[in-house]
Every structure is written in structure tokens, then in C-alpha cells.
Amino acid sequence: MLSIHNLSATVADKPILKGLSLSINAGEIHAIMGPNGAGKSTLGYTLGGRPGYEVTGGSVTFNDEDLLALAPHERAAAGLFLGFQYPVEIPGVSFVQFLREAANAQRKSLGQPPLTGGEFLKLAREKAGLLKMDMDMLKRPVNVGFSGGEKKRAEMVQMGILDPKLAILDETDSGLDIDALRIVGEGINAIMRKPDRAVLLITHYQRLLDYVKPDFVHVLAGGRIIRTGGAELALELESQGYEAVTA
């Protein structure tokens, strides 16, 4: 599904990714762990096509397409979803409006007709239910006054509605209490753990991985994947720290 080959990227002229390679097949859940500043978020933003993240080498194919040749909105239309470490607030726009616009923009790019109000509400209710999110909450302006946990749950509702092929989730567990962590973890499983979907979880704690069990765990340090293992690698990192692995 996703094949990253020797990817190098700079942020503000500073080399951050330095020849990173990684392959993700349909049906797989991968976790990337690594110390602060290792380049984890940079990888997510670079794959999402965020301005300011400049690719200086290597290639990325996504479902046999050259991902790097696509504009950010085309990447989303192709089925890529990026969950942000710090979700943005959009005063004046309600979450339901936002979700409906997002869903219909996505459908338009796929040549599908927009959802009717009723169809959209049914879909939104279903996905909000998966995340134990009250519909009243989604009538509020996007993320304004939401707690950290509510922002992440709302973001997972958005993911459910967009129904991406590949979700890259950056620190989706940050700021979550134990209950929210379980709800978000179960939501990710319900939406994304399917034979034709894949997930790349970026995290520096192993706790989300208790709920969303990764098939592969990678350690990112110095701009490259320096080690790959199974779910047990996350436990090893948790008990021994990154230094034992990156030294």
C-alpha cells in the first residue's frame, strides 16, 4: 500500500529525514517510536505534503501512485488521512459542518454525489457512536474548548467519516486519560483494522499499543528507521529506553 524508499526531507533547510525506508501492506498496523525530535512528525507532515517540508531525495508510492507528485488534497482523495499531534481550532465553523464539507469534498474528488443531510447525519451518528461522542458536542465550533481527549476523539470521528485507506496518526494518545485512550484505541480498531486498510501509529509511549496491537514496530532515530521488530519491541523500548536501542 505504502512504500517509502530512501526518503530525505528538510524542514527550514535543516535535514531531518535522512534516507528513511519503510513498507506498509494492506491489513497491517505499524508503529513508529522514537525519541523527541527524531523526525516522527516530520515524516507524517512530509507524507501529507505540508508546505515547508521539502523532499530532497527518495521516493514514496501509495497504491502504485507517486505520492510525492500529488497535492495535499489529492493525497487525501487518494485515501491518505493524517491525524495531527496538535489538532487546530476553527472558531465559527461547527464540527458537523466541517465534517460534512470534508466528506462531500472527498466524494466529489471520487466522482460521487454529495451526501444528503439525512445520509450524512446517519453516518456522523454511527461514527460518533464508535467514539462515544455526543452529537451535541459535534455541533460546537471545531475543537474550540475541547479537551485534549475530546479533540482526539473528534478527529477519529472525522477519520471514520472519511474512511481512508491509510491513516497516519501522530501522537494520537497524547493528552488522553485511561478511558479516552481505550475509546480511541477501540475506535481505531473498529475503523481501520480491516484487510484493505492500514495504519501508521506515531507514538513515543507504548500504552496506545495495548489497545491497537501493531504488527510491526519501528524505531526512528537520526532520520532513519534503525530497528524493526514486532509488538514486543515496544515493550522493550518502554522498559529499557531509547538509548539502549539507539546507542
Ligand X SMILES: Nc1ncnc2c1ncn2[C@@H]1O[C@H](COP(=O)(O)OP(=O)(O)O)[C@@H](O)[C@H]1O
For the bound state, the minimum distance from the C-beta of residue 22 to ligand X, rounded and expressed in Å, comes to 15
Residues 36-95 that bind Mg ion (CB under 5 A): 40-41
The residue assigned the cell 481550532 is 89
- Please identify, using beta-carbon distances, which residue of 196 and 243 lies nearer to ligand X: 243
Applying CB under 6 A, the residues found at the interface with ligand X are 11-12, 14, 16, 34, 36-42
For the bound state, the minimum distance from the C-beta of residue 38 to ligand X, rounded and expressed in Å, comes to 4
- Please identify, using beta-carbon distances, which residue of 42 and 206 lies nearer to ligand X: 42
Residue type, 84: F
SS3 27: coil
- Please identify, using beta-carbon distances, which residue of 18 and 182 lies nearer to ligand X: 18
Please give the angle made by the CA atoms of 225, 229 and 233, to the nearest 5 degrees: 100
- Please identify, using beta-carbon distances, which residue of 34 and 79 lies nearer to ligand X: 34
Residue type, 76: A
Residue type, 108: K
Residue type, 104: N
As to burial, measured by CB atoms within 10 angstroms (0-12 exposed, 13-18 middle, 19+ buried), residue 189 is: middle
Residues 143-202 that bind Mg ion (CB under 5 A): none
The x, y and z cell numbers of residue 48, run together, are: 501529507
Q: Which does 16 bind (CB under 5 to 8 A by kind): ligand X, Mg ion, none?
A: ligand X
| Number of alpha helices (DSSP H) and beta strands (DSSP E) in the chain | 8, 12
Binding pattern for the stretch 3-42 against Mg ion, x by CB under 5 A and - elsewhere: -------------------------------------xx-
Which residues make up the interface to Mg ion (CB under 5 A)? 40-41
